[in-house]
Amino acid sequence: MSETLYTIEVEVNGKRRSGTVPARLSLVDWLREELHLTGTHIGCEHGICGACSVMLDGEPVRSCLMYAVQANGHRVTTVEGLAKPDGSLSVLQDSFCETHGLQCGYCTPGMLIASQALLNSNRNPTEEQIRDAIGGNLCRCTGYQQIVEAVQLAAERIAKEAK
Amino acid sequence: MKAAPFEYTRAASVVEACALLARHGDGAKLLAGGQSLVPMMAMRLARPAWLIDINEIAALKFVAVEKDLARTGACTRQCAVALDDALAARVPLLRQALAWVGHVQTRNRGTVGGSLAHADPCAELPLVARVLEARMLLRSAKGTRTLEAEKFFAGPMATSARADECLEEIHWPVWSWRHTGSAFTEISVRHGDFAMVAAAAQIAIDGDGRCVRAAFGLGGVGGTPLAFPKIAARLVGTRLDDALVEDAAHAAAAETAPGSDLHASAEYRRHLASVLAARALREAREKARAA
């Protein structure tokens, strides 16, 4: 039996991308396997670990809990879309390096998406708000402290740049 | 790809969703936020032949606060409900419960109706619906009907909705007493996980501090979320002293028959039920006094 294919058009990191997908292909599989945007990681594949977080129309969601066909007509931002246009690291990404907010790096794309989404809506988050924002992302290396520090540092830097 | 193959269709309206359900029968499932259904399909615990996506139906996404009730569209995202200040002022238990539901990423996608229709006995929103006696508006190609929460929840992961029905709206009663307070609490392995046991309570008192209405319930200790209206009625007219509150919590816990699993024994769950019910009732009482 051949599987029905569905045509989709999704704005990914500002570019219009189209594809032909079976309904059961998850959004994260489409991003990684078809668009070769392998920055988004796959961890648990059932919504526990947060590694696959992307922004859908600006809000962080888990791309393993969505089918690619559902993203048709929507806007997706992956970790590749966070860097500056010249390819250099964003303030948040650089802050993660600065505070040692990553070790093995597996959770990092999800952490970056979750904390960038927080900073987009809240320029000056409290530690509690930061911990809540990354509460759905598991990290087995850092103990989270340096990740919290990275977000705090990024918020300070963004505030300074705005002055 | 982990799910079994299925056909996908986007419904543009509730009427269309109902027509599709009628056409495809038992093999069709509605897809709301997908935060439970998609993992179940990945594990092949669910293998629908058709998924009818209701995420693009704007008419299913709204919060309307009226005099005696608040209405939410079934496909309203959990984050939208949690952030609605007018709703939080009239039905505070919803925001209080949603703080325990999953994480930012799952609440951005997860819907109120999806959580109710999934009917996990440990989930927070079904417990709130049961305690507040919410009503579910169901639509099918044949028409609409309303079901009280007590009748809607039929068992673990089971509701009384027919296979051809779509949950369209949820009606949350508003308590209009000035001194009303509510509280939600739970114990889980990690914050955001399903509760081992959850408790919710809402209390209204008069100007003299006497209880005029009380409602409370427990999740995770039976096949459906449980409410205890008869035990709660015994609190009416009292000043809700700690001893009375603890008696009520203990009586409720004694009526439950929780199961044992890897995370907690039945005995521990019943102990939690008593402790958490008392905690929720006391916190609701303090908020009512402060209101």
- Mean pLDDT for all residues in chain A: 96
**Residue of B265, B197, B200, B207 whose CA lies nearest to B228:** B200
Of A24, A53, A137, the CB nearest to B3: A24
Is a pLDDT exceeding 70 seen at residue A123? yes
Q: Lowest-confidence range among B63-77, B184-198, B227-241?
A: B184-198
Q: Does A8 have pLDDT greater than 70? A: yes
Cβ within 8 Å, pair A66-B104: no
A129, closest residue in chain B (CA to CA): B104
Look at the alpha carbons of A50, A120, B77, B186 in this order and tell me if their dihedral is positive or negative: positive
Q: Count A/B contacts: CB-CB distance under 8 Å.
A: 87
- Domains of chain B, earliest start first: 7-53 (3.30.43.10), 58-173 (3.30.465.10), 179-290 (3.30.390.50)
pLDDT for res B202: 98
Which residue of chain B has the CA closest to A57? B108
Grade residue A28 by pLDDT with cuts at 50, 70 and 90.
very high
| pLDDT tens, position by position, B223-253 | 999 999 999 999 999 999 999 999 999 999 9
Average pLDDT over residues A23-45: 97
Q: Is the pLDDT of residue A62 over 90?
A: yes
Q: d(Cα B75, Cα A104) in Å, to the nearest integer?
A: 38
pLDDT in tens, B1-32: 899 999 999 999 999 999 999 999 889 999 99
pLDDT for res A163:
82
Q: Which of A22, A61, A69 sits opposite B1 (nearest CB)?
A: A22
| Residue B99 confidence (pLDDT) | 95
> Which pLDDT score is estimated for A1?
57
Q: What is the pLDDT of residue B191?
A: 83
d(CA A55, CA A133): 13
- pLDDT computed for residue A2 by the predictor: 83
Q: Chain B interface residues facing chain A, Cβ-Cβ under 8 Å?
A: 1-8, 31, 34-35, 38-39, 41-43, 51, 53, 55, 79, 102-106, 108-109, 191-192
Burial B152-183 (b: 16+ CB within 10 A, else e): bbeeebebbbeebbbbbbbbbbbbeeebbbbb
- Catalogue all structural domains in chain A, each as residue range(s) with its CATH number: 5-81 (3.10.20.30), 91-162 (1.10.150.120)
| Average of per-residue pLDDT across B44-61 | 97
